[in-house]
Amino acid sequence: MAVAGPEIERLIQLLARLPGLGPRSARRAALHLIKKREALMVPLASALQVAIERIQVCKTCGNIDTQSPCTVCTDPRRDPAMIVVVADVADLWALERAKASNGRYHVLGGTLSPLDGVGPQDLTIDALVQRAHAPEVQEIILALNATVDGQTTAHYITDLLQEANVKVTRLAHGVPVGGELDYLDEGTLSAAMRQRTLF
Amino acid sequence: MAVAGPEIERLIQLLARLPGLGPRSARRAALHLIKKREALMVPLASALQVAIERIQVCKTCGNIDTQSPCTVCTDPRRDPAMIVVVADVADLWALERAKASNGRYHVLGGTLSPLDGVGPQDLTIDALVQRAHAPEVQEIILALNATVDGQTTAHYITDLLQEANVKVTRLAHGVPVGGELDYLDEGTLSAAMRQRTLF
Ligand SMILES: [Zn+2]
Ligand SMILES: [Zn+2]
Protein backbone atom coordinates (compact mmCIF):
# COMPACT_ATOMS: atom_id res chain seq x y z
CA MET A 1 0.00 0.00 0.00
CA ALA A 2 1.91 3.03 -1.22
CA VAL A 3 -1.09 5.27 -1.82
CA ALA A 4 -0.51 7.60 1.03
CA GLY A 5 3.27 7.65 1.08
CA PRO A 6 5.88 6.23 3.45
CA GLU A 7 5.22 8.81 6.21
CA ILE A 8 1.64 7.63 6.81
CA GLU A 9 2.65 3.99 6.30
CA ARG A 10 5.23 4.37 9.07
CA LEU A 11 2.68 5.98 11.39
CA ILE A 12 0.24 3.12 10.74
CA GLN A 13 2.92 0.49 11.41
CA LEU A 14 3.86 2.07 14.74
CA LEU A 15 0.23 2.45 15.82
CA ALA A 16 -0.38 -1.20 14.92
CA ARG A 17 2.17 -2.17 17.58
CA LEU A 18 -0.01 -0.76 20.36
CA PRO A 19 -1.94 -3.42 22.29
CA GLY A 20 -5.57 -3.35 21.21
CA LEU A 21 -4.89 -2.00 17.71
CA GLY A 22 -4.52 -4.37 14.76
CA PRO A 23 -3.46 -3.34 11.24
CA ARG A 24 -7.01 -2.34 10.34
CA SER A 25 -7.74 -0.24 13.41
CA ALA A 26 -4.24 1.28 13.17
CA ARG A 27 -5.17 2.60 9.71
CA ARG A 28 -8.38 4.06 11.09
CA ALA A 29 -6.48 5.57 14.02
CA ALA A 30 -3.91 7.15 11.67
CA LEU A 31 -6.66 8.65 9.52
CA HIS A 32 -8.46 9.93 12.60
CA LEU A 33 -5.25 11.58 13.82
CA ILE A 34 -4.64 13.22 10.44
CA LYS A 35 -8.22 14.51 10.30
CA LYS A 36 -8.05 15.82 13.87
CA ARG A 37 -4.66 17.40 13.30
CA GLU A 38 -4.92 20.34 15.71
CA ALA A 39 -7.36 18.74 18.17
CA LEU A 40 -5.65 15.38 18.56
CA MET A 41 -2.48 14.70 16.54
CA VAL A 42 -0.59 17.80 17.75
CA PRO A 43 -1.57 17.29 21.44
CA LEU A 44 -0.72 13.56 21.26
CA ALA A 45 2.71 14.24 19.74
CA SER A 46 3.34 16.73 22.51
CA ALA A 47 2.08 14.40 25.29
CA LEU A 48 4.41 11.69 23.98
CA GLN A 49 7.30 14.13 23.97
CA VAL A 50 6.56 15.10 27.59
CA ALA A 51 6.36 11.42 28.54
CA ILE A 52 9.65 10.68 26.78
CA GLU A 53 11.37 13.50 28.66
CA ARG A 54 9.82 13.10 32.10
CA ILE A 55 8.53 9.59 32.81
CA GLN A 56 10.83 7.25 34.69
CA VAL A 57 10.68 3.96 36.54
CA CYS A 58 10.72 4.24 40.36
CA LYS A 59 14.02 2.77 41.58
CA THR A 60 12.33 1.57 44.76
CA CYS A 61 9.09 -0.06 43.66
CA GLY A 62 9.07 -0.20 39.83
CA ASN A 63 6.06 2.11 39.46
CA ILE A 64 6.27 4.72 36.71
CA ASP A 65 6.12 8.39 37.53
CA THR A 66 7.81 11.69 36.82
CA GLN A 67 9.87 11.23 39.98
CA SER A 68 11.95 8.42 41.52
CA PRO A 69 11.25 7.38 44.26
CA CYS A 70 7.67 7.72 43.00
CA THR A 71 4.71 9.61 44.48
CA VAL A 72 3.43 6.44 46.17
CA CYS A 73 6.80 5.54 47.71
CA THR A 74 7.30 9.08 49.09
CA ASP A 75 3.73 9.63 50.31
CA PRO A 76 3.93 9.87 54.14
CA ARG A 77 0.27 8.78 54.45
CA ARG A 78 1.12 5.36 53.01
CA ASP A 79 1.60 2.54 55.49
CA PRO A 80 5.27 1.48 55.27
CA ALA A 81 4.43 -1.81 57.00
CA MET A 82 2.68 -3.27 53.93
CA ILE A 83 4.12 -4.01 50.50
CA VAL A 84 1.65 -5.05 47.82
CA VAL A 85 3.44 -7.18 45.21
CA VAL A 86 2.07 -6.92 41.65
CA ALA A 87 3.25 -8.34 38.34
CA ASP A 88 2.79 -5.18 36.35
CA VAL A 89 2.25 -1.42 36.69
CA ALA A 90 -1.22 -1.98 35.18
CA ASP A 91 -2.12 -4.07 38.25
CA LEU A 92 -0.82 -1.33 40.54
CA TRP A 93 -3.04 1.18 38.73
CA ALA A 94 -6.03 -1.17 38.99
CA LEU A 95 -5.57 -1.57 42.76
CA GLU A 96 -5.14 2.18 43.17
CA ARG A 97 -8.32 2.87 41.19
CA ALA A 98 -10.10 0.42 43.50
CA LYS A 99 -8.50 2.17 46.52
CA ALA A 100 -7.82 -1.42 47.57
CA SER A 101 -4.74 -0.74 49.68
CA ASN A 102 -2.99 1.97 51.63
CA GLY A 103 0.37 0.22 51.51
CA ARG A 104 3.31 0.62 49.19
CA TYR A 105 3.94 -1.49 46.11
CA HIS A 106 6.50 -3.70 44.46
CA VAL A 107 6.27 -4.27 40.71
CA LEU A 108 7.85 -7.58 39.68
CA GLY A 109 7.88 -6.83 35.97
CA GLY A 110 6.00 -10.03 35.11
CA THR A 111 5.47 -13.51 36.51
CA LEU A 112 7.66 -16.60 36.43
CA SER A 113 6.94 -18.47 33.21
CA PRO A 114 9.26 -21.36 32.29
CA LEU A 115 7.46 -21.75 28.95
CA ASP A 116 8.20 -18.13 28.01
CA GLY A 117 11.72 -18.32 29.44
CA VAL A 118 10.95 -15.92 32.31
CA GLY A 119 13.02 -16.89 35.35
CA PRO A 120 13.56 -15.25 38.77
CA GLN A 121 16.49 -13.20 37.43
CA ASP A 122 14.13 -11.51 34.92
CA LEU A 123 11.92 -10.17 37.72
CA THR A 124 12.67 -7.79 40.61
CA ILE A 125 12.43 -10.61 43.17
CA ASP A 126 15.87 -9.97 44.74
CA ALA A 127 14.93 -6.35 45.37
CA LEU A 128 11.63 -7.46 46.93
CA VAL A 129 13.40 -9.84 49.34
CA GLN A 130 15.74 -7.02 50.31
CA ARG A 131 12.81 -4.64 50.93
CA ALA A 132 11.03 -7.32 52.98
CA HIS A 133 13.94 -7.38 55.43
CA ALA A 134 13.54 -3.68 56.29
CA PRO A 135 12.49 -3.35 59.96
CA GLU A 136 9.29 -1.40 59.21
CA VAL A 137 7.88 -4.03 56.83
CA GLN A 138 5.39 -6.41 58.46
CA GLU A 139 3.27 -7.78 55.63
CA ILE A 140 3.86 -8.73 52.01
CA ILE A 141 0.57 -8.98 50.10
CA LEU A 142 0.91 -11.04 46.91
CA ALA A 143 -1.60 -9.46 44.51
CA LEU A 144 -0.82 -11.74 41.59
CA ASN A 145 -3.12 -13.18 38.93
CA ALA A 146 -4.96 -16.37 39.91
CA THR A 147 -3.29 -18.14 36.97
CA VAL A 148 -0.75 -20.95 36.97
CA ASP A 149 2.14 -18.51 36.37
CA GLY A 150 0.82 -16.08 38.98
CA GLN A 151 0.48 -18.78 41.62
CA THR A 152 3.88 -20.34 40.77
CA THR A 153 5.40 -16.92 41.32
CA ALA A 154 3.50 -16.49 44.60
CA HIS A 155 4.82 -19.83 45.91
CA TYR A 156 8.36 -19.05 44.83
CA ILE A 157 8.30 -15.68 46.61
CA THR A 158 6.67 -17.13 49.73
CA ASP A 159 9.50 -19.68 50.01
CA LEU A 160 12.15 -16.98 49.67
CA LEU A 161 10.48 -14.83 52.33
CA GLN A 162 10.41 -17.51 55.02
CA GLU A 163 13.60 -16.13 56.57
CA ALA A 164 12.25 -12.59 56.60
CA ASN A 165 10.21 -11.54 59.61
CA VAL A 166 7.05 -10.78 57.60
CA LYS A 167 3.57 -12.14 57.18
CA VAL A 168 2.93 -13.21 53.55
CA THR A 169 -0.69 -12.97 52.40
CA ARG A 170 -2.50 -13.22 49.09
CA LEU A 171 -5.78 -11.93 47.65
CA ALA A 172 -8.93 -13.86 48.53
CA HIS A 173 -10.62 -16.05 45.95
CA GLY A 174 -14.37 -15.64 45.61
CA VAL A 175 -17.36 -14.53 43.65
CA PRO A 176 -16.67 -11.28 41.73
CA VAL A 177 -18.99 -8.44 42.77
CA GLY A 178 -21.93 -8.65 40.36
CA GLY A 179 -20.82 -12.12 39.30
CA GLU A 180 -23.37 -14.86 38.65
CA LEU A 181 -22.73 -18.18 40.32
CA ASP A 182 -23.57 -20.39 37.37
CA TYR A 183 -20.92 -18.69 35.23
CA LEU A 184 -18.14 -19.35 37.74
CA ASP A 185 -15.79 -22.29 37.64
CA GLU A 186 -15.86 -24.93 40.37
CA GLY A 187 -12.53 -23.88 41.88
CA THR A 188 -13.79 -20.33 42.46
CA LEU A 189 -17.08 -21.58 43.87
CA SER A 190 -15.53 -23.97 46.36
CA ALA A 191 -12.95 -21.33 47.40
CA ALA A 192 -15.78 -18.82 47.91
CA MET A 193 -17.63 -21.38 50.01
CA ARG A 194 -14.57 -22.25 52.16
CA GLN A 195 -13.70 -18.58 52.71
CA ARG A 196 -17.32 -17.54 53.38
CA THR A 197 -17.80 -14.60 55.73
CA LEU A 198 -20.46 -13.65 58.26
CA PHE A 199 -23.38 -11.74 56.73
CA MET B 1 -6.56 8.23 39.32
CA ALA B 2 -3.60 10.40 40.24
CA VAL B 3 -1.10 7.59 40.87
CA ALA B 4 1.03 8.19 37.85
CA GLY B 5 0.78 11.94 37.59
CA PRO B 6 -0.93 14.31 35.15
CA GLU B 7 1.53 13.65 32.30
CA ILE B 8 0.56 9.97 31.97
CA GLU B 9 -3.09 10.79 32.63
CA ARG B 10 -3.05 13.23 29.71
CA LEU B 11 -1.39 10.65 27.44
CA ILE B 12 -4.05 8.08 28.38
CA GLN B 13 -6.88 10.55 27.71
CA LEU B 14 -5.55 11.40 24.25
CA LEU B 15 -4.98 7.74 23.35
CA ALA B 16 -8.56 6.96 24.49
CA ARG B 17 -9.82 9.30 21.75
CA LEU B 18 -8.41 7.04 19.02
CA PRO B 19 -11.04 4.85 17.35
CA GLY B 20 -10.68 1.30 18.63
CA LEU B 21 -9.19 2.25 21.99
CA GLY B 22 -11.43 2.64 25.06
CA PRO B 23 -10.27 3.96 28.45
CA ARG B 24 -9.01 0.53 29.50
CA SER B 25 -7.02 -0.22 26.35
CA ALA B 26 -5.72 3.36 26.32
CA ARG B 27 -4.17 2.70 29.74
CA ARG B 28 -2.58 -0.48 28.44
CA ALA B 29 -1.35 1.35 25.33
CA ALA B 30 0.19 4.14 27.44
CA LEU B 31 1.98 1.60 29.65
CA HIS B 32 3.20 -0.27 26.60
CA LEU B 33 4.57 2.97 25.11
CA ILE B 34 6.34 3.86 28.36
CA LYS B 35 7.87 0.39 28.62
CA LYS B 36 8.98 0.44 24.98
CA ARG B 37 10.34 3.96 25.26
CA GLU B 38 13.17 3.74 22.72
CA ALA B 39 11.62 1.07 20.48
CA LEU B 40 8.13 2.54 20.19
CA MET B 41 7.36 5.77 22.06
CA VAL B 42 10.25 7.78 20.60
CA PRO B 43 9.61 6.57 16.99
CA LEU B 44 5.86 7.18 17.33
CA ALA B 45 6.39 10.73 18.63
CA SER B 46 8.69 11.37 15.69
CA ALA B 47 6.31 9.80 13.12
CA LEU B 48 3.51 12.01 14.45
CA GLN B 49 5.74 15.06 14.17
CA VAL B 50 6.57 14.18 10.55
CA ALA B 51 2.87 13.69 9.81
CA ILE B 52 2.01 17.03 11.43
CA GLU B 53 4.60 18.80 9.32
CA ARG B 54 4.13 17.04 5.98
CA ILE B 55 0.67 15.48 5.55
CA GLN B 56 -1.92 17.51 3.68
CA VAL B 57 -5.29 17.04 2.03
CA CYS B 58 -5.20 16.87 -1.79
CA LYS B 59 -6.96 19.98 -3.11
CA THR B 60 -8.21 18.02 -6.13
CA CYS B 61 -9.57 14.75 -4.73
CA GLY B 62 -9.50 14.96 -0.91
CA ASN B 63 -6.96 12.13 -0.52
CA ILE B 64 -4.25 12.68 2.07
CA ASP B 65 -0.62 12.70 1.06
CA THR B 66 2.60 14.65 1.47
CA GLN B 67 1.84 16.51 -1.76
CA SER B 68 -1.18 18.28 -3.27
CA PRO B 69 -2.31 17.35 -5.90
CA CYS B 70 -1.67 13.90 -4.46
CA THR B 71 0.33 10.97 -5.88
CA VAL B 72 -2.84 9.39 -7.31
CA CYS B 73 -4.04 12.60 -8.99
CA THR B 74 -0.65 13.24 -10.60
CA ASP B 75 0.07 9.63 -11.65
CA PRO B 76 0.08 9.62 -15.48
CA ARG B 77 -0.78 5.89 -15.52
CA ARG B 78 -4.14 6.60 -13.92
CA ASP B 79 -7.13 6.74 -16.24
CA PRO B 80 -8.41 10.33 -16.18
CA ALA B 81 -11.73 9.17 -17.67
CA MET B 82 -12.89 7.53 -14.42
CA ILE B 83 -13.54 9.14 -11.05
CA VAL B 84 -14.27 6.77 -8.17
CA VAL B 85 -16.36 8.56 -5.54
CA VAL B 86 -15.80 7.45 -1.93
CA ALA B 87 -17.13 8.72 1.38
CA ASP B 88 -13.83 8.61 3.20
CA VAL B 89 -10.07 8.28 2.67
CA ALA B 90 -10.31 4.89 4.40
CA ASP B 91 -12.50 3.67 1.52
CA LEU B 92 -9.98 5.00 -1.00
CA TRP B 93 -7.24 3.04 0.78
CA ALA B 94 -9.40 -0.09 0.83
CA LEU B 95 -10.03 0.12 -2.94
CA GLU B 96 -6.34 0.76 -3.58
CA ARG B 97 -5.34 -2.24 -1.46
CA ALA B 98 -7.77 -4.31 -3.51
CA LYS B 99 -6.31 -2.79 -6.71
CA ALA B 100 -9.99 -2.40 -7.60
CA SER B 101 -9.65 0.55 -9.92
CA ASN B 102 -7.16 2.37 -12.12
CA GLY B 103 -9.12 5.62 -12.06
CA ARG B 104 -8.81 8.71 -9.96
CA TYR B 105 -10.79 9.39 -6.80
CA HIS B 106 -13.05 11.90 -5.19
CA VAL B 107 -13.40 11.86 -1.40
CA LEU B 108 -16.74 13.28 -0.27
CA GLY B 109 -15.80 13.59 3.39
CA GLY B 110 -18.81 11.56 4.56
CA THR B 111 -22.32 10.72 3.40
CA LEU B 112 -25.53 12.72 3.54
CA SER B 113 -27.16 12.09 6.88
CA PRO B 114 -30.15 14.26 7.83
CA LEU B 115 -30.24 12.65 11.30
CA ASP B 116 -26.64 13.68 11.99
CA GLY B 117 -27.13 17.07 10.36
CA VAL B 118 -24.85 16.30 7.40
CA GLY B 119 -26.12 18.11 4.32
CA PRO B 120 -24.71 18.54 0.77
CA GLN B 121 -22.80 21.69 1.82
CA ASP B 122 -20.82 19.59 4.35
CA LEU B 123 -19.48 17.31 1.62
CA THR B 124 -17.33 18.03 -1.45
CA ILE B 125 -20.27 17.44 -3.81
CA ASP B 126 -19.95 20.80 -5.62
CA ALA B 127 -16.32 20.07 -6.42
CA LEU B 128 -17.29 16.62 -7.72
CA VAL B 129 -19.92 18.07 -10.08
CA GLN B 130 -17.32 20.52 -11.35
CA ARG B 131 -14.79 17.73 -11.94
CA ALA B 132 -17.46 15.64 -13.71
CA HIS B 133 -17.83 18.40 -16.32
CA ALA B 134 -14.17 18.19 -17.38
CA PRO B 135 -13.98 16.94 -20.98
CA GLU B 136 -11.78 13.92 -20.17
CA VAL B 137 -14.18 12.48 -17.57
CA GLN B 138 -16.46 9.75 -18.91
CA GLU B 139 -17.53 7.73 -15.89
CA ILE B 140 -18.32 8.48 -12.25
CA ILE B 141 -18.24 5.30 -10.13
CA LEU B 142 -20.15 5.70 -6.86
CA ALA B 143 -18.25 3.46 -4.42
CA LEU B 144 -20.42 4.26 -1.42
CA ASN B 145 -21.54 2.05 1.44
CA ALA B 146 -24.65 -0.04 0.79
CA THR B 147 -26.36 1.69 3.72
CA VAL B 148 -29.34 4.05 3.73
CA ASP B 149 -27.07 7.10 4.02
CA GLY B 150 -24.70 5.79 1.35
CA GLN B 151 -27.52 5.11 -1.09
CA THR B 152 -29.26 8.44 -0.35
CA THR B 153 -25.97 10.14 -1.19
CA ALA B 154 -25.61 8.08 -4.37
CA HIS B 155 -29.08 9.08 -5.56
CA TYR B 156 -28.50 12.74 -4.72
CA ILE B 157 -25.24 12.79 -6.72
CA THR B 158 -26.75 10.87 -9.62
CA ASP B 159 -29.50 13.51 -9.94
CA LEU B 160 -26.96 16.35 -9.91
CA LEU B 161 -24.85 14.66 -12.59
CA GLN B 162 -27.67 14.24 -15.09
CA GLU B 163 -26.60 17.41 -16.91
CA ALA B 164 -22.97 16.30 -17.07
CA ASN B 165 -21.98 14.15 -20.03
CA VAL B 166 -20.90 11.17 -17.88
CA LYS B 167 -21.99 7.63 -17.19
CA VAL B 168 -22.81 7.16 -13.47
CA THR B 169 -22.26 3.63 -12.13
CA ARG B 170 -22.21 2.02 -8.70
CA LEU B 171 -20.60 -1.07 -7.15
CA ALA B 172 -22.38 -4.38 -7.71
CA HIS B 173 -24.27 -6.03 -4.89
CA GLY B 174 -23.60 -9.70 -4.33
CA VAL B 175 -22.18 -12.49 -2.23
CA PRO B 176 -18.88 -11.45 -0.59
CA VAL B 177 -15.94 -13.65 -1.65
CA GLY B 178 -15.81 -16.39 0.97
CA GLY B 179 -19.28 -15.46 2.18
CA GLU B 180 -21.78 -18.14 3.17
CA LEU B 181 -25.23 -17.84 1.66
CA ASP B 182 -27.20 -18.62 4.78
CA TYR B 183 -25.56 -15.72 6.64
CA LEU B 184 -26.57 -13.17 4.00
CA ASP B 185 -29.67 -11.00 4.12
CA GLU B 186 -32.42 -11.45 1.57
CA GLY B 187 -31.69 -8.17 -0.21
CA THR B 188 -28.13 -9.23 -0.94
CA LEU B 189 -29.20 -12.69 -2.04
CA SER B 190 -31.84 -11.46 -4.48
CA ALA B 191 -29.45 -8.81 -5.84
CA ALA B 192 -26.78 -11.49 -6.32
CA MET B 193 -29.32 -13.63 -8.15
CA ARG B 194 -30.50 -10.80 -10.43
CA GLN B 195 -26.94 -9.74 -11.25
CA ARG B 196 -25.68 -13.30 -11.76
CA THR B 197 -22.84 -13.74 -14.24
CA LEU B 198 -21.84 -16.50 -16.66
CA PHE B 199 -19.61 -19.16 -15.07
ZN1 LIG C 1 7.88 3.80 43.99
ZN1 LIG D 1 -5.62 13.79 -5.23
Is B183 a member of any domain? no
Q: What is the CATH number of the domain that holds B162?
A: 3.40.1360.10
For residue B83, the one-letter residue type is I
Residue A1: which pLDDT band, with cuts at 50, 70 and 90?
very low
Is B193 a member of any domain? no
CB contact under 8 A, B1 and A93: yes
pLDDT at A112 over 50: yes
Give the end-to-end CA distance of chain A in Å, rounded to a whole number: 62
CB contact under 8 A, B14 and A47: yes
DSSP string covering A104-154? EEEE-SS--BGGGTB-GGGTTHHHHHHHHTSTT--EEEE---SSHHHHHHH
Ion ligand 1 neighbours, Cβ < 5 Å: A 58, 60-61, 63, 69-70, 73
Residue A179: which pLDDT band, with cuts at 50, 70 and 90?
confident
Residues of A with Cβ-Cβ distance to B21 under 8 angstroms: 18, 20-21, 29
Sheet holding B103-107, edge to edge: B103-107, B79-86, B139-142, B167-170
Is B105 a member of any domain? yes
Closest-CA residue in chain A for B72?
Answer: A3
Per the structure, the complete domain to which residue B71 belongs is given by 64-170
Residues of B with Cβ-Cβ distance to A29 under 8 angstroms: 18-21
Query: Is-contact A45 A34, C-beta < 8 A?
Result: no
Q: What is the pLDDT of residues A51-65, one digit of tens each?
A: 999 999 999 999 999
- Angstrom distance (rounded) from CA A41 to CA B53: 11
- Below-50 pLDDT ranges, chain B: 1
Query: Is-contact B107 B86, C-beta < 8 A?
Result: yes
Is B46 a member of any domain? no
Is A192 a member of any domain? no
Is B83 a member of any domain? yes
CB contact under 8 A, A19 and B25: yes
Query: What is the tally of structural domains in chain A?
Result: 1
ipTM of the prediction: 0.80
Closest-CA residue in chain B for A18?
Answer: B29
Of all residues in chain A, the percent with pLDDT exceeding 70 is 97
Is B196 a member of any domain? no
Is A184 a member of any domain? no
